[in-house]
Amino acid sequence: MKKTIVFILITLIILILVGCRKDNINLGDADMSEPNELPSENNNIQIDPIKDRIKSMTLEEKIGQLLIVGFEGTEINNEIVNFIEELKVGGFILFSRNIEDENKTLKLLNNIKEANSNNDIPLFLSIDEEGGRVSRLPKTFTRLPESVKLGKKNNKDISYNYGKILGERVKALGFNLDFAPVLDINSNPKNPVIGNRSFGNTTDIVVSNGIQVMLGIRDTDTIPAVKHFPGHGDTSMDSHVNLPIVNKSMEELESMELNPFIRAIEEDVDMIMVAHILYPAIDKEYPSTMSQKVIQNLLRDQLGYKGVIVSDDMTMGAIVENYSLEEASLRFIKSGGDIALICHGKDNPRKVMEYIKESVDTGNLNEKDIDEKVYRILKLKEKYNLEDKIVELNDLEGLNIETKKLIEEINK
d(CA 338, CA 63): 10
**DSSP SS3 for 67:** strand
* Catalytic site includes residue 157: no
> Are the CB atoms for 159 and 146 separated by under 8 Å?
no
Q: Which residue in the list 204, 219, 240, 344 is annotated as catalytic?
A: 240
Phi, psi of 264 (to 5 degrees): -65, -40
Residue 181: DSSP 8-state: -
Q: Which residue in the list 184, 312, 338, 388 is annotated as catalytic?
A: 312
d(CA 218, CA 220): 5
Question: Strand 308-311 relative to strand 67-69: parallel, antiparallel, unpaired?
Answer: unpaired
What residues pair up with 278 in beta bridges, in sequence order? 245
Amino acid occupying residue 114: E
> Are the CB atoms for 209 and 151 separated by under 8 Å?
yes
> Are the CB atoms for 154 and 205 separated by under 8 Å?
yes
With residues binned 3-state (H G I as helix, E B as strand, rest as coil), the percentages for the chain, rounded to 5, are 50, 10, 40
d(CA 264, CA 285): 28
d(CA 381, CA 385): 6
Determine if residue 353 is left, alpha or beta; phi over 0 gives left, psi from -120 to 50 gives alpha, anything else beta.
alpha
Question: Strand 340-342 relative to strand 67-69: parallel, antiparallel, unpaired?
Answer: parallel
d(CA 124, CA 212): 23
* Catalytic site includes residue 219: no
Phi, psi of 306 (to 5 degrees): -115, 0
> Are the CB atoms for 91 and 177 separated by under 8 Å?
yes
d(CA 282, CA 312): 19
> Are the CB atoms for 101 and 77 separated by under 8 Å?
no
Phi, psi of 109 (to 5 degrees): -65, -40
Residue 44: DSSP 8-state: P
Phi, psi of 181 (to 5 degrees): -90, 170
* Residues noted as catalytic: 240, 312
